[in-house]
Structure 1
């Protein structure tokens, strides 16, 4: 089912006990529920904008570019500052851009007719700009399964680069007569919830190291979590602890973050195979849940180069994450 809203088209998915709503603006997860229980903090996409980047797809960089400026292969690029309090460029360039619905996958109901779709594919061509002179073709697939919950697969392809041909126009760096590959990172921004205050929940994050930040939320050093408030490896009550940090030292294969609490002490589980995860205790949303953002690179990677993906012309990158409820 599709209908228009402030956040583009809204697509409702259903599989078994799971239901989800997707908005085409920013390829956004509006809500995810199982048997009526919210697994992420929802918002009313028909009448309001999401708060604190709820559910957004984050491309071509996750988190922040410090001072809204990066230097890549010797070329300087100013990017729009959308977080004035830190002076940073936050969460990429597609969070408020409208994706197109490419296809929906239906499941047959017991009577043989069409039920709500179980999957939707969204597409966007992000054009080259002064801030990012590469064109990316982006595909986001949201798929619900009655057993495994929600799987989201995001694929980005470098469709070509713009070069500098006029004074004041910044193009892609030229190397060996051709445009350099595109710098790239990707993440997502769901807020896991148990519909009770976060303080009453148990959080488990299998990360050995945490990235400290300065007053502008820029990276200020990496350290071991042992013996600190940022050690969530065995799972513990959140209580009054606040965090808005990137964590690493994660398992090499797919890892799982769990938030447990509320009625029945069930867990909502996030799984991904990314080397980083941002964990934010959701103060801007009243600590009703925790943002868990698997990231392919840390904050400010467009400047540091740490874990930065580079996409040659025609090359693609695929990123997958999952959410489900565990009894």
Structure 2
């Protein structure tokens, strides 16, 4: 029997000077290069994907606090997949093996079904397309509710962007967001939404330095076409960006601070930028005095979102 890598079937896409490799487990962006330069932190094909790197997040991005929520008048308990903090992290699709339903030299469409289970008793088919073009790598996610009842839903990607050599400390970040969601220091539980302060204000591009970020941002300044873009560049002005439209009113940014600090490989080696259709803990929307943007998909209906990663 042919060997299948730990990250699943590999799908290599090429267009011009760009190459992307998508792994079937979790519909994960395993690598993306422009003229041989990494635009995301890669991982090996025969490696168990580390830290949700590049995966497709569904049916929720980020955290459900304590894994508990109520929907449709029923209390639900999800498996706790972030044991150190006691939360349900990044959905249920991250370890599903997505099947290719369409493929070409510059695109692939992958599909998997989230089956009804304890904590999330809905059947949702997730279809995602990765396509390389002149403007970069576009990913779209389409989720259809195959159940008889309305289903709560959210989605987003999890790329760790790479501007150049070194760590995020030397890179310049442009993040056109005017509000940030505060969280508790120990468990990252959302508390209040407010204006960005001096530490988290990157509306004017500036060096990240020693700033530690693991926060959700919103209230974006979009361009004339309604597109929001985050850009990360090195000292020479080269780098990478990610752009999205109003379907994702939130973005999680994380400077990849690891418990072992500089001695741990990968510490601050990439900047996670995760456009999201909803805020962290959106499944518990009634707890908050702001709209976390939870999507509710009616039976047979579809929710869609997308984003694009591009070289600078």
TM normalised by structure 2 equals: 0.91
Q: Measure, in 2, the Cα distance between the counterparts of 1:304 and 1:160.
A: 22
Q: Measure, in 2, the Cα distance between the counterparts of 1:149 and 1:75.
A: 43
Q: Per the alignment, in what secondary structure is the counterpart of residue 139 of structure 2?
A: strand
Q: Measure, in 1, the Cα distance between the counterparts of 2:26 and 2:203.
A: 32
Give the corresponding residue for 1:249. 219
Q: Measure, in 1, the Cα distance between the counterparts of 2:118 and 2:79.
A: 10
Q: Count residues with an aligned counterpart.
A: 292
Q: Is the 8 A contact 2:162 2:239 kept in 1?
A: no
Q: Measure, in 1, the Cα distance between the counterparts of 2:56 and 2:205.
A: 27
Q: How far has the Cα of 1:267 moved from its partner? A: 2.6
Give the corresponding residue for 2:307. 321
Q: Is the 8 A contact 1:3 1:11 kept in 2?
A: no
Q: Is the 8 A contact 1:195 1:288 kept in 2?
A: no
Q: Is the 8 A contact 1:3 1:9 kept in 2?
A: no
Flag as ranges the 4+ runs of structure 1 deviating above 3 A: none
Q: Measure, in 1, the Cα distance between the counterparts of 2:66 and 2:117.
A: 18
Q: How far has the Cα of 1:138 moved from its partner? A: 1.1
Instruction: Indicate the structure (1 or 2) with the bigger Cα radius of gyration.
Output: 1
RMSD: 1.4
Unaligned stretches of 5+ in structure 2?
259-265, 287-291
Q: Measure, in 2, the Cα distance between the counterparts of 1:324 and 1:199.
A: 21
Please state if 1:283 is matched with 2:260.
Answer: no
Unaligned stretches of 5+ in structure 1?
106-116, 162-178
Q: Measure, in 1, the Cα distance between the counterparts of 2:16 and 2:155.
A: 29
Q: How far has the Cα of 1:208 moved from its partner? A: 0.3
Please state if 1:49 is matched with 2:48.
Answer: yes
Moved more, 315-324 or 304-313: 304-313
1:98-157, Cα deviation, whole Å (9 max, x unpaired):
01011112xxxxxxxxxxx10001011111112111101111100011x11100011000
Please state if 1:120 is matched with 2:108.
Answer: yes
Give the corresponding residue for 1:271. 243
1:213-266, Cα deviation, whole Å (9 max, x unpaired):
1121110111101x420101111101111100000111362200000005x421
Q: Is the 8 A contact 1:41 1:191 kept in 2?
A: yes
Q: Is the 8 A contact 1:3 1:10 kept in 2?
A: no
Please state if 1:206 is matched with 2:176.
Answer: yes
Give the corresponding residue for 1:194. 163
TM normalised by structure 1 equals: 0.87
